[in-house]
Amino acid sequence: MLGEVRPYDEEFIDNYELFFRYAAPDNRWSANGNVFYFDWQDQQVPFTPENGFAGLDEFIANAGSSSVYGLEVELDIRVTDTLEVFGALGISETEFDEFIIDGQDLSGDAFPGSPNWNAALGFSYNGANGVFASGTYTYVDETYSELGAQDFTAISDRNLLSGKFGYRRDHWSVYVFGENLLDEDYELGLFDRRQIGAAGPLGSVADPLTFGAGIDVNW
């Protein structure tokens, strides 16, 4: 570890947002949405300095200026008394407008860990006979983990599907479930550790395709 301490300044942000909320009189459907813009000055950004050890030597730098804009939309529809479907969409653009760190100009780069697109679609069923089921599909766009190493710490996009099916009575339920049903391989986070001789990035990956079963008892 470097054993250094680096000071940093406070940050300021102007947040502009337009939003709407609507619920149908019969409660059969609802919609929410917002459009936003953030104007950031001296944004506090964590980073690993040159010759530092990722995950241990983490400092804070102030970006001269940066911005975020986008939109979010959610829709919930109660198709019947037992079936509900929902969807959500998020779009955002992030950018360091002015950012020089340790002599490296990152102006024009997106924020780390900030995908441009994300979406979700799902359903929930609760039958009068005790049968229940649910499923969710989500998509998350590609991004990266570490400043100054976008290509080396790139995180791939992902398509995820999960589901659950079971039977419920007054005080108990049994069910089966599945996670990552499309068996997607994707990274949760990566670190550039070439300075310690690593041939590639180090980090963590998501859980693989998983099945399970359970019993819940309430009293």
The pLDDT-based confidence of 58 (bands split at 50, 70, 90) is confident
> What burial class does residue 56 get, using C-beta atoms within 10 Å of its C-beta: 0-12 exposed, 13-18 middle, 19+ buried?
exposed
Residue 120: pLDDT band with limits 50, 70, 90 = very high
Rounded to the nearest angstrom, the gap between the alpha carbon of residue 92 and the centroid of all alpha carbons in its chain is 12
Q: Give the integer Cα–Cα distance in Å for 176 and 163.
A: 9
Q: 152: pLDDT confidence band, cut at 50, 70 and 90?
A: confident
Confidence of residue 123 (pLDDT cuts 50, 70, 90): very high
Averaged pLDDT of the chain:
90
Element counts in the chain: helices (H) and strands (E): 0, 15
Q: Amino acid identity, residue 32?
A: N
Judged by DSSP in three states, 195 sits in: helix
pTM for the structure as a whole? 0.85
pLDDT at 20 over 70: yes
Task: Determine the Cα–Cα distance for residues 190 and 181; give it in Å rounded to an integer.
Answer: 23
Q: Is 196 helix (H, G, I), strand (E, B) or coil?
A: helix
